[in-house]
Amino acid sequence: MSTSRYIRANGIDIHFLHDGSGPPLVLLHGWPEFCVVWESVISALRDRFEIFAPDLRGFGDTTKPYAGPTEEMTSQVLADDLGAFLDAVAVNRPVGLVSHDVGAIVAQVFARRWPERLGGLFFFNCPHPGIGSRWIAPDHVPEVWYQTFNCLPCSAAMVGASRDTCRLYIGHILRHWAADEHAFDKDLERFVDNFMKPGNLQGGFNWYLGNRAARRAVWTGHIPDIPPIEIRTRVYWGEHDPVLKAEWMDRLPETFSNLHASVAEEVGHFVHYEAPQRAARAIAEFFEPGRAPV
């Protein structure tokens, strides 16, 4: 059973799940998620790795340092949090960094700033600059409306008006993005419980406010010309993800020079939740190639 812990880092109290022993592995969630989304993966890997699964700033039970909507919660700030977190838990050797969605953007920022702290990068369904204007292509705009909605000053109040409204919104996202619309049925009320905690809806929405300018730069092609990340990288992308399409893997080599990428068949946006055994096996094979799969 994973231990629920808190630690002070970068001026906030970071909540995280801790389990296992062995080489250090850090798991970073996306939106609309929090650390418990990794529970099944942790169970499968606890005999191989020491695992840390934090709630990102503004999410889960980690501090919500902003009283309301803010553009201060950027990927740079969350990368700072991760560096301070590793210092606080005294991880002094390179870590395996596994990430998804929001966490994947944070992981790329971290990798460019502190490559020496990483033993490898593993991504599920990875946003990357090469997606470019395809984010807002006419046939894809209906899939990314939530990014604009989450930036509205009234969005948290609307979604959080009651458990029913929260369940409708968060439940819709989870059902629509998973390949099986019933994938989250058993845990849906846990997600509602989480997002109905004070500050949790706005905490997640602040990610979209803080990264609004960065998203627009990707859409319009106004991003810096930076070299690819050289760290050994694995990408495992859900075949039926409607919002981060598997076909967008085509330009991953522009961002990662040492890359192995493949499609996770029959699952959607949440590979780590929809197919945790496959996800855990892929993680283990990447970070411990000499050992038999889980």
Q: Let me know if 81 is a catalytic residue.
A: no
Q: Tell me how far the alpha carbon of residue 36 is from its chain's centroid.
A: 12
State the catalytic residue, choosing from 66, 146, 208, 273: 208
Which position among 19, 55, 81, 101 bears the catalytic label? 101
Instruction: List the one residue out of 37, 87, 34, 91 whose CA is nearest residue 59.
Output: 34
Between 200-210 and 188-195, two packed helices, what is the crossing angle to 10 degrees? 80
Catalytic pick among 29, 269, 272, 273:
269
Report the alpha-carbon distance of residue 156 to residue 67 in Å, rounded: 12
Our answer to whether residue 55 is catalytic in this structure is: no
Whether residue 31 contacts residue 102, with contact meaning beta carbons closer than 8 Å, is answered with: yes
Phi and psi at residue 237, to the nearest 5°: -115, 125
Q: How far apart are the first and last CA of the chain?
A: 18
H-helix or E-strand spanning residue 100: strand 95-100
Bridging pattern class, strands 95-100 and 50-54: unpaired
Q: What is the DSSP letter of 196?
A: T
CA angle (147 as vertex; 146, 152 as ends), nearest 5: 85
**What is the rounded CA–CA span in Å between residue 167 and residue 147?**
18
101 given a catalytic annotation: yes
The set of catalytic residues is: 101, 208, 269
